[in-house]
């Protein structure tokens, strides 16, 4: 069954703050975006223990800690000026007549 894929306002390398869940209040950088599942992997957030199998003689197997994905609605982008904020868009026209869309902070209007 095909699901509708939503437009993501968050992008890879954005700094986000977790607003719900066990890591509420923590900040981190987006490492990966899973568009089909509407989830994101954030650096240092939602750490889980996972059993890893040995791949070769030098590789160490055992239990490792990795970041698991969280739902994108549980994270909010962090504006450099005002902190966690919602994302808006502003249409701008350059001198050549082309229209471009830029992400802005809804609180202060700063370009993200």
Whether 112 is in a domain gets the answer no
Domain that holds residue 58: 15-105
Whether 1 is in a domain gets the answer no
Whether 3 is in a domain gets the answer no
pLDDT for the residue numbered 5: 57
Whether 4 is in a domain gets the answer no
How would residue 2 be classed by pLDDT, with cut points 50, 70 and 90? low
CATH number assigned to the domain comprising residue 83: 2.30.30.30
- Total structural domains in the chain? 1
Neighbours of 87 (CB within 10 A): 16
Residue-wise pLDDT for 22-62, tens only, equals: 888 899 999 999 988 889 999 989 899 999 888 888 888 88
Whether 111 is in a domain gets the answer no
C-alpha Rg value of the chain to the nearest Å: 18
Distance CA 44, CA 38 (A): 19
pLDDT for the residue numbered 58: 81
Distance CA 87, CA 79 (A): 9
């Amino acid at each position: 069954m095909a699901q509708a894929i939503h437009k993501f306002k968050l992008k890879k390398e954005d700094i986000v703050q977790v607003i719900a869940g066990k890591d509420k209040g923590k900040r981190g950088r987006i490492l990966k975006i899973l568009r089909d599942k509407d989830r994101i992997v954030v650096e240092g957030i939602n750490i889980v223990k996972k059993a890893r199998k040995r791949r070769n003689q030098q590789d160490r197997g055992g239990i490792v800690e990795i970041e698991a994905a969280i739902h994108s609605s549980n994270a909010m982008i962090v504006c450099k000026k005002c902190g966690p904020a919602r994302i808006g868009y502003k249409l701008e026209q350059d001198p050549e007549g082309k229209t471009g869309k830029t992400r802005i902070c809804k609180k202060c209007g700063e370009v993200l």
